[in-house]
A and B are shown apart, each in its own frame.
Chain A
């Protein structure tokens, strides 16, 4: 049984169902969403095991029975399944967390409907093999996230959402324009077919223009530095579970994944594109962390760190060597884990204490032990302290920089890492250690479901380090092989169509 369509059908059906019945039966939206996310998580692991047992590591589904350049196809390869596991893992833990957290807001069913639609969009982008279809699902995820950022309907949230929506729409227009130019040139929309057609036509003068359009479009979605202005507003304004989803997976699946898939597998990268990617990555890495150090708003600080960490991912992928891509993807996975955890921690503090200002916290360790310990794990992980996963992925990226002779970038990556450490020492010092304020004596730990989801994420922070061991490293390396294989993807996929 081919599982590919289920990744779209299940969340989409759940969203429609929740919007029908959620208004009348309050608990049903909780139950439906959690069950759906749980099934999706199981399904992605099941797909992972299927993919490993197929010799070509490729699963193709022809929608409507039309053979691909004519119809739309779904393509799941190692990279897609890597992203599917990441997205659905975070989504499941976030829904568990939301059950209690979202009680603070009105109209919970709207939250769950939008959440499931956003998940539909991300899954759709990841599994599609068609360029225009990717755009459509990208828009679903984006529009759902615009609305989710404004979920609290306070003035700051609306303002952030407006900014995000305008920037996001401009980005989408750039992407759509790029697709139009590509369609005119190749007369097809299927990605594999397009790659073959581009190869057949020889070095195309149109590609630099389209690459720039896509870099601007997807770069905006991924919040790379010249295009990052919306992120520090939008991510802190959203409710904490949504911040975790946005920073954890949305900017990666819509930005980094889509960009890497198109640039590497459809266009075939050139040295110029790689150096642009590396430069943008390093720039984001440094600018993000410099802006983060001075922040006193906990969630805003985390948002700036998202820019910085996305910089690491793009730097790793931009190196173009197998080791670099491997490090970049591994860091992508790790970052979704620990950044989601940190945002959930910040949400827990908002839930119990009601503030995001680091000055107003202090000494929360004794009252909120689970939150404090999980956030300690996440902080050490993001700062790159040895036993945790963040250390290994950063190490691999730095090694890869040195290996391909980019000593400057390696140096800046180390500098960024040190500054990250400093910034998170500040967070730990002001939020959890120190003396407990007088007003904070009646602070309580958050409900059990929220604790559980934070604890699971913290455990994954530790367990994910084992992915560097040869026995488990296949998960990341096979995904990296898809990208470093370049246009090999086109031959494999079009072979599978027949």
Chain B
């Protein structure tokens, strides 16, 4: 329970960064923190006390395994996170090229 809550605190830090920071790279950093928090939450959810990694071995019997499904899902989520980060960084670099700054308050051709 406390672990879940701490994980959501991490999520909130990322959320705060995305909502309040005025720099494109800081926003990307915030998104990264949010992703980490969600991935960690998944892994926490699948943990079993004194469990073993979900990999079978030829010469021993493993009885208590941690839940393998969240691990499979997180593997997918990590890739998706990498893809989104790469695309957003590319857009940010391109914006830098056009405006010469990462500061969001100076980038406002569009309004609301």
A binds B: yes
Interface assignment of B66: CB less than 8 Å from any CB of chain A? no
List chain A residues, Cβ under 8 A from B31: 166, 169-170, 173
Could you say which residues of chain A place their CB within 8 Å of the CB of B98?
155, 158
- The answer on a CB contact under 8 Å between A158 and B38 is no
Asked whether A166 lies within 8 Å of B27 as measured between CB atoms, the reply is yes
| B contact residues around A184 at 8 Å (CB) | 45
Which of B70, B84, B88, B91 has the largest count of A CB atoms less than 10 A from its CB? B91
Q: Would you call B87 and A155 a contact (CB within 8 A)?
A: no
A173 touches B95 (CB 8 A): no
Contacts of B64 in A (CB 8 A): none
Of the candidates A132, A139, A169, A170, the one having the most CB atoms from chain B within 10 angstroms of its own CB is A169
Are B77 and A158 touching (Cβ within 8 A)? no
Q: Mark A229-269, 1 if CB is under 8 A from B, else 0.
A: 10011000100000000000000000000000000000000
Q: In chain B, residues 1-60, which have Cβ atoms closer than 8 Å to a Cβ of chain A?
A: 11, 15, 18, 24, 27, 31, 34-35, 38, 41-42, 45
- In the complex, residue of chain A having the shortest beta-carbon distance to the beta carbon of B11: A177
Q: Which A residues are CB-close (under 8 A) to B95?
A: 155, 158-159, 162
The interface bits of chain A over 147-188 (1 if a CB of B lies within 8 angstroms of the residue's CB, else 0) are 100100101101111110110011011001100110110000
Q: Do A180 and B80 touch (CB < 8 A)?
A: no
Within the complex, the shortest CB–CB distance from A213 to chain B, in Å, comes to: 11
B69 near A: Cβ within 8 Å?
yes
A153 surroundings in chain B (CB, below 8 A): 94
A114 to chain B, nearest CB (A): 11
Contact A173 B94 (CB under 8 A): no
Name the interface residues of A108-158: CB closer than 8 Å to any CB of B.
132, 136, 139, 143, 146-147, 150, 153, 155-156, 158
| Closest B residue by C-beta to A236 | B110
| Given A147-B87, A159-B107, A170-B15, 18 additional A-B pairs, CB 8 A | A132-B73, A136-B76, A150-B94, A155-B98, A158-B91, A159-B95, A165-B88, A166-B27, A166-B88, A172-B80, A173-B31, A173-B34, A173-B35, A176-B38, A176-B42, A180-B38, A180-B70, A183-B73
Interface of A toward B, CB cutoff 8 Å: 132, 136, 139, 143, 146-147, 150, 153, 155-156, 158-163, 165-166, 169-170, 172-173, 176-177, 180-181, 183-184, 189, 229, 232-233, 237
